[in-house]
Structure 1
Amino acid sequence: MRRFVAHRRWAPAVAVVLCAAAFVAYDVGPAHDARPAWAEPVRNATIVIDQGATRKGFATPEVTVSGGGEVTVVNLDSMDHTVTSVADGPDGLPVFDVRVKAGTTATVPGVAALAAGEWAFYCKFHPSMRGVLTVVGGGGGVEPERPSFEQPLVVPPTKRGADIRLVMRRSLVRTMPDGPRTSMWTYDGTYPGPTIRRRGGQGTKVTFVNRLPRAAGSMSTHLHGDHHEPQHDGQPTTHLIRPGRSRTYDYPLTVDGRPEPGSFFWYHDHRMDRTARNNWRGLQGMFIVTDPPTPGLRLPTGARDVPLMISERSFRADNQLTDPFAHGPRMVGHHGEMAWVGPHAPPDDATVGDTVLVNGRHAPYLGVSATRYRLRLLNSSPFSSYNLTLSDGRPFLQIGTGSGLLPRATVRTSVLLGPAQRADVIVDFSGATGRRLVLESVPAAPGLTGDDARETAVMEFRVGARARDTSRLPARLPSPKLVSPVPTRVARTWTFGLDGNDRHGTFWSINGRAFDPERVDHRARLGTVERWRFRNTSDVTHYVHIHAQQWRTLRRDGKAPPPWERGLEDTWRLEPGEEVEVAARFTDYTGAFMIHCHMLDHEDHGMMARFDVMP
């Protein structure tokens, strides 16, 4: 089989919730015409999408059709939606997938060929919208494909020096288990780029050379999560790396004169209006900051310390990347703001891939011993979130975020990661010798946090024999010190929303405005501690990322944050109607920094703001 299939395990919990959902009543004619499904074939079925579907889901989450029948989708919402099969076919693509524009009707392709059974579907743009199509009677011959893991996981090469040179160039990389290699934009010829490992406090200079095709334009590299001067922050419009030129970024790996805590950062392109495109084409890599040896702390090391970059792309039949940006929205002016028009303008601008990659490979496997492993999990997708779990239900022991260790390890059965979020976890494979365990993403039940996560298998662990394991965890972890005391007054509220209109253009906004690199939206004083609040007034979840500092999570909807958010953070999930409060001390550097949504299309289409740290 050419591609792995993102096939759902027909999760009973999900099915029960969907089956229990109430139907919306629609006028289908006189009551005496209604007949039970078994009385005669159901030749046609209708999936209805009502206004406010991003919050309420499909109006008809369960539909039934006879084999060979047809399914119509009616979209009464003001947003575009899709009806996409969770199960994939032999080509590795969803068995059915249709985009239904706002206010239109469409037919779901391929239904007549489906075999009898239940076929789960969802909206790619709003994955919390889920339903089940039941095919009864004869049906066709198309069956869901089972997962297949055909190629080994590749861990990117590691660079450890104080002076590192990375060349951005177009290269052919292996993404699929067979067929042609994929042409991507890379750092040093690999996707992801080389993983940089440096100890905190060891200053590191990274020179990026732009040898991409001239039409690619200028680039800007952001070391996500690090603390450094603004000119080395990957500014979206200044300090760019022009075609044929290079730029050296200086990362001291210190905070307020002390070594930066052990962290899991990543570097990626941050060019204004091109961030989603440039990341999609491959400009991503991982950066690990290590702590000095600590008495009593013996975490898995070497081959048992595995960084995993989880992302997604869409491919043509020849294994080449599709170009979802070829017919993107057009930029226009809107009362002094920049806005976008066209069928893919906000809020219909989500870039979602149909193929999941781990360290650049589709459906890889990793051989492990029956011991403890440290997995550094990163979601570098442009839009999708993943609620990661292991197929046999064994737990993750989360020991850190992307910005350092937690005060205490916390046991989790699943780990939800949105775009740019990271988690540092320990998995104990003891007792699983000879078994194959699947790392998969399973959405939470509707209405719960994580119900918008993608449903898919991610990779496989092939567990071998037991081996010597000297790793140990203390009751308390040497986590970074959190800023304290914290002001009671909120210095700045950042409201994430959708503004504009269909006539003059729409844009993702912060405090009602689209990004302007020349406008300063907030000023903070060096050496002070500020408390910030995020609010989401839109109908979709956002992932808020702040540059410059290490931040402490204070409150989530007025309550203490969960245990896995009680360390340092730089990216937060912000659901519709939710409020999150954070705090940081502004140290070391003055100048311009950014706050933005890390759903990359949202960032490109206005959801970014500038704040300046003043002397």
Structure 2
Amino acid sequence: MRGEMRAPARARGPARIWVGAAAVVLATSAFVAYDVGGAPDAPRSAAFAEPVRNATVVIEQGGARKGFATKAVTVSGGGTVTVVNLDSMDHTFTSVAKGADGLPLFDVRVTAGTTATVPGIEALAAGDFAFYCKFHPGMRGVLTVAGAGGGVEPERPTFDQPLVVPPTERGADVRLEMRRALVRTMPDGPRTSMWTFDGTYPGPTIRRRGGQGTHVTVVNHLPKGAGATSTHLHGDHHAAKDDGQPTTQLVHRGQSRTYDYPLTVDGKATPGSFFWYHDHRMDRTARNNWRGLQGMFIVTDPPMKGVRLPSGARDVPLMISERSFTAGNQLTNPFADGPEMVHGSGHDEMSWTGDLAPPNDATVGDTVLVNGRAAPYLDVSATRYRLRLLNSSPFSSYNLTLSDGRPILQIGTGSGLLPRAVVRSSVLLGPAQRADVIVDFSGATGKDIVLESVPAAIGSTGDDARAASVMEFRVGERASDPSRLPSRLPSPALVSPVPKKVAKTWTFGLHQGHHGSAWTINGESFDPTRVDHRAKLGTVERWRFRNTSDVTHYVHVHAEQWRTVLRDGKAPPPWEQGLEDTWRLEPGEVVEVAARFTDYTGAFMIHCHMLDHEDHGMMSRFDVVR
């Protein structure tokens, strides 16, 4: 039963948790020394010599990069924990382990320059409890409850509802009605009211062969308060008018718009790909996606001689996302309290103010969903399966692995097959990133294998991935399996030669001014009327991405499909050597990419796909011109 043995303030809470009514503003940022129970320098023997009734966790300036200053803390059973945030960014102090209701055992947001007492600590049983920051999951530590404590212990995750694969549309003319509908997200209790495409979340999966032109008509029958929408087919190559522009060619309530997707690139059929469609309305992208306006689009593989990939029921698309729910299974509204847009001049032309203004804008859900359902299971035979993995979360990244340690064979990205299959132990996906993988369940009859997200080692790529049990595979008997594990793959050709000169550098950063703050590209927040770069049709350009902020961004480029040239001056890893449209860009990183501009002129976007960052300025317009 959800809600059992939870602190009174811990209902099934919002994605942005605002706790700490007794928070105290620190007098000065010069307060950097500390002497608290359980601090890293305190001997553990001293902590056990006498009860530690009140323990303190400290976050210093630069916590997003440095982590918790107090990485190990001990408190006696029934004691309290206070978090002191000396940083200029908000953080959370969140339990990795969850209770019977599926929520973290403790979870507090600590705004910059304040302290907060953590509710729920006094109820914990004795033991070790790993903690992390939901906004910066690379920040991790361990809380030890010593001696007699309360009765609340971690609960093992259960998988109580079957995975649902969305309905499939295969025709040349697809009609999608945006409307509010009740959908099953939790295993019991009321259905969840969501904004949907055709009454399901995710919306119908569209499957079409490359070169088969497809028209998708979107009809807006959403509630009155939803406003106009814009649908973007993420990863596809199409005209600017069909790109889901953020401010123009919107679909108003009661109206419709038909998007034309030829599924061709430079006169050739689009290769087998895993795209997805979602709302792209300026300043409302995070909200509209949170509400449910998402769906998958698969460009099916052309006939490939000698390549036999799993197909039919063994070709499974998996949209991984996250939401937070009320006790009645309804979506929380993390956007109710702002931030507020303000207008200034110069760099402050468009910025945001309030408690949730950049860099403290992060929509993170408590509950992971797969194809719209919390903790689902899938019955599989002891054969090979093709899993198309999509992270459609607004903010979080996932480092996906299998609980029994069996390998994952990555055969493609969202934009096509890789030149060679890559054997991996885990696959890191940030918002909007996709991976085409094969998992062989042979020899696992009778076993339950969990798809998990696990952070990488501190300092490694992926150490900021959230920890979560995603879904379960229940392995049955062996069956006939005509598929084979491929080594070489007929991957799409990459643009070549690549120019030696960089045509455009895009720098992703944060601006904090007198009027407010904004995420920026090249020092400017988004202005849909400003053209930040012009690329000539028919030419090849080399672009450079730089991250000068303290947090990771996921850079998405519209219009074309790109090859990764360099990552921090080195050749990209094997899983980045195919076509891409979204790149992970860690603090201080530099990534270079290249593409040829073909077929279409007009306005296109480059932006961070952490949707709050996109909504709060981190988007630019480039035009393809003749």
- Counterpart residue number, 2:34: 26
Q: Deviations over 1:257-304 (max 9, x none)?
A: 000000000000000000000000000000000122111011000000
Please state whether the residue corresponding to 1:398 is helix, strand or coil.
strand
Q: Pick one of 516, 536, 543 that aligns with 1:532.
A: 543
**Aligned: 1:119 with 2:129:** yes
Give the conservation status (yes or no) of the 8 Å contact 1:296–1:472: no
Between the two proteins, the alignment pairs up a number of residues equal to 595
Question: Alignment partner of 2:289: what SS?
Answer: helix
Of the three residues 508, 518, 526, the one matched with 1:496 is 508
1:203 to 213, 237, 254: 213
Q: What TM-score does the superposition give when structure 1 sets the normalisation length?
A: 0.95
Deviation at 1:28, TM superposition (A): 5.7
Taking only the aligned residue pairs, the percentage that are identical comes to 81
Taking the aligned partners of 1:32 and 1:67, their CA distance within structure 2 comes to: 19
Shift of 1:39: 1.5
Distance 1:452 1:587 in 2: 36
Q: Which amino acid aligns with 1:592?
A: A
Structure 1 counterpart of 2:120, from 106, 110, 113: 110
Matched residue, 1:606: 617
Residue 293, structure 1, aligned to residue 293, structure 2: no
Letter in 1 for 2:345: H
Q: How far did 1:474 drift?
A: 4.0
Name the structure 2 match of 1:18. Answer: none
Tell me, yes or no, if structure 1 residue 100 matches structure 2 residue 113: no
| Residue 593 (structure 1) aligns with | 604
Unaligned runs of 5+ in 2: 5-31
Find 1:522's aligned residue among 525, 528, 533. 533
Q: Give, in whole Å, the separation in 2 of the partners of 1:102 and 1:611.
A: 35
Taking the aligned partners of 1:88 and 1:345, their CA distance within structure 2 comes to: 29
- Change in Cα spacing, 1:201 to 1:32, as seen in structure 2 (3 Å) is closer
Aligned partners of 1:485, 1:544: CA distance in 2, in Å?
23
TM-superposed CA distance for 1:165, in Å, is 0.3
In structure 2, what is the equivalent of residue 137 of structure 1? 147
Partners of 2:68 and 2:485 in 1: CA distance: 46
Residue identity opposite 1:582 in structure 2 = V
Amino acid at match of 2:427: V
Partner of 2:365: 353
Three-state SS of the structure 2 residue aligned to 1:115 is: coil
Show the counterpart of 1:405: 417
Deviation at residue 37 of structure 1 after TM alignment: 1.8
Deviations 1:304-334 (A, max 9, x none): 0000000000000000000000112000013
Question: 1:11 aligns to what?
Answer: none
Instruction: Tell me the residue number matched to 1:485.
Output: 497
Give the residue type in structure 2 aligned to 1:116.
A
Counterpart Cα distance in 2 of 1:165 and 1:220: 15
Equivalent residue letter for 1:434 = G
Shift in Å, 1:32: 13
Q: Map 1:60-209 to 2 at 5 A.
A: 60-209=70-219
Q: AA paired with 2:89?
A: M
TM-score between the two structures when normalised by the length of structure 2: 0.93
Q: Match of 2:222, as an amino acid?
A: L
Q: 1:222 aligns with which of 232, 235, 238?
A: 232
Asked if the contact 2:504/2:544 (under 8 Å) is kept, the reply is yes
Query: Gaps spanning 5+ residues in structure 1: where?
Result: 5-23
Q: Deviations over 1:210-264 (max 9, x none)?
A: 0001210000000000000000000000010000000000000000000000000
* 2:575 is aligned with 1:564: yes
C-alpha change, 1:537 and 1:473, in structure 2 (3 Å) is same
Matched, 1:252 2:252: no
CA RMSD, Structure 1 to Structure 2 (Å)? 1.7
- How far the C-alpha of 1:85 sits from its partner, in A, is 0.7
Cα separation, 2, equivalents of 1:348 and 1:495: 20
Q: Is the 8 A contact 1:2 1:177 kept in 2?
A: no
Query: Which residue in 2 is equivalent to 1:468?
Result: 480
In structure 2, relative to structure 1, the CA distance for the partners of 1:85 and 1:28 (3 Å cut) is closer
Stretches (4+) displaced over 2 A: 1-4, 24-29, 31-35
Partner of 1:273: 283
Q: d(CA) in 1 for partners of 2:470 and 2:484? A: 28
Matched residue type, 2:492: P
- C-alpha deviation, 1:92, in angstroms: 1.6
Q: Secondary structure at the match of 1:524?
A: strand
